Amino acid sequence: MERQNILLSLATICTGLMAGLFFSWSCSVVPGLAKVTDSNYLAAMQSINREIQNAYFFSCFFGALVLLVISTFMAWQPGHHDFRFWCLLAATLIYAFGVMGLTIAGNVPLNDLLENFDLKNASPESMAAMRLKFESPWNNFNLIRAIGAVVSFVLALLSCLGAPGR
């Protein structure tokens, strides 16, 4: 297998793993957490947001974009832009803006807001207010990035099926 195909395969795998994470979060964790109390919800999200910051997550989250960019450049041929190139370019742009950009601009600031919330000394009213401020916007951002990641994954997968030069 040539280097270009190996990198493209890795890009597709990382993108697919991120799509799966965001999708499964939206259809399992969100409904589950919607049923718990404010204090349990906030404690769970604080814990999850701390624990997801690990090498496994970061390698796939950042690796997907790096590998998509490299794969796109490797698929580019001066004067001839084939199916693989266009799929990869679209996958890269959607992942860069619809997944990574949205995470950095939307989810991370909300995570920071939640991290700075003193749950141990909070009143039930302040917990309810924090949940109201956090939950719906965070879930909406996650749903959008899940859609972006799935579309990016499908495009990367299509580029795997389109042989160079087609």
Alpha-carbon span 153 to 66, nearest angstrom? 14
Looking at residue 166, its pLDDT comes to: 43
Strand, coil or helix: 80? strand
Please report the pLDDT score of residue 158 as a whole number: 96
Residue 58 is predicted with a pLDDT of: 98
Give the Cα separation of 52 and 31 in Å (integer): 19
User: Phi, psi at residue 21, to the nearest 5°?
Assistant: -60, -50
Report, as an integer, the average pLDDT of 30-47.
98
- Pair 149, 15: CB distance under 8 Å: yes
Query: DSSP class of residue 77?
Result: B
Q: How confident is the model at residue 90 (pLDDT cuts 50, 70, 90)?
A: very high
Is residue 18 pLDDT above 50, yes or no? Answer: yes
